[in-house]
Amino acid sequence: MTEKINELLRCVEEFEPRTAAEVEEFRIRMTGKKGELNALMEEFRTVAPELKREVGQQLNRLKTAATERIAALRERMADAADGQSAPQEDLTRPGSADELGSRHPISLVKNQIVEVFARLGYTVADGPEIEDDWHVFSALNFPPEHPARDMQDTFFVEKNPDVLLRTHTSSIQVRTMERQKPPIRVICPGRVFRNEAISYRAHCIFHQIEGLYIDEGVSFADMKQSLLCFAKEIFGEQAAIRMRPSYFPFTEPSAEVDVSCNLCGGKGCAVCKGTGWLEIMGCGMVDPNVLKANGIDPEKYSGFAFGMGIERIAMLKYGVKDLRLYFENDVRFLHQFEEAL
């Protein structure tokens, strides 16, 4: 009986059918009701008790091998049949180029801003979007209960007053000052979050890019010249800037920066509300308290910081009047920026 089992095992392993019909015939012969396996099972009853264990294991191996081999042959024949029935490609047909997508306008503007400041010697820094109170507020001269904290409606994580979604990318500046000694010259792009109602001019998610320059002898004039260079690169050589006094807890003195309206050439239009100017960013000299809180000697070093909303720059650059368009992923809107790649 053992010889018969081994002979059938070799037959299973060597069987190579040409058609699905041959596979089915082989299945019936091996595992059908009147097949070889059932015949062996009947013969197994007459095996001596001391040999039943060994012969039973051999029968199980034969049954498993036959079942798996038949299943594999069926699958192979089915694949071959599908390949023959599938329509053949016309190799002489001219190829068609795949349609390319387009970069998001926010990415386009961010990359352009990064490129401008990279030429001025700035490197890109990054940091977490989920932050703690120290890096978002306290290290930036926001004392507890200070009214300046109310300037930004904050998303707190699980009602924990010390864990929040960052409201500005200034937190990256703090992390940079903690791990790097002056001179420091970085720009910090990223998403920020504020609890605001969504409308054509506001959103709870937007993108900022902030800059920080700290070294010996850095002056307000250095900042003004850097920002003028930036405005001319982004809005054209004819662009001019002006600075208006403002207030930020982390800079002193502070200023708002306006650029001449690129839509009307400074003559006044509906977009600039007849003034000829458009606000683009805030800036100022880094407050000595901020330097001191981050382990930098304010007697030796000075610096300036600036920050702008990328959506705001993109709106001015491309004439987009509804902020919500940047977040809806409407391909009709995005296709307009294909030429800007």
pTM of the model: 0.66
311 φ/ψ sector (left φ>0, alpha ψ -120 to 50, else beta) = alpha
Q: What is the DSSP string of 264-322?
A: TTTS--TTTTTSSEEEEEEEEEEPHHHHHHTT--TTT-EEEEEEEEHHHHHHHHHT---
CA 325 to CA 335: how far, in whole Å? 13
pLDDT for the residue numbered 271: 67
**257 bridge partner residues:** 243, 281
What confidence tens digit (pLDDT) does each residue in 220-277 have? 999 999 999 999 999 889 889 999 999 998 999 999 999 988 777 667 776 677 888 8
Beta-strand pair 160-165/251-260:
unpaired
pLDDT for the residue numbered 264: 72
Nearest to 210 by CA among 167, 168, 259: 168
What confidence tens digit (pLDDT) does each residue in 103-151 have? 888 999 999 999 999 999 999 999 999 999 898 888 988 877 766 566 5
Return the percentage of the chain with pLDDT > 90, whole number.
37
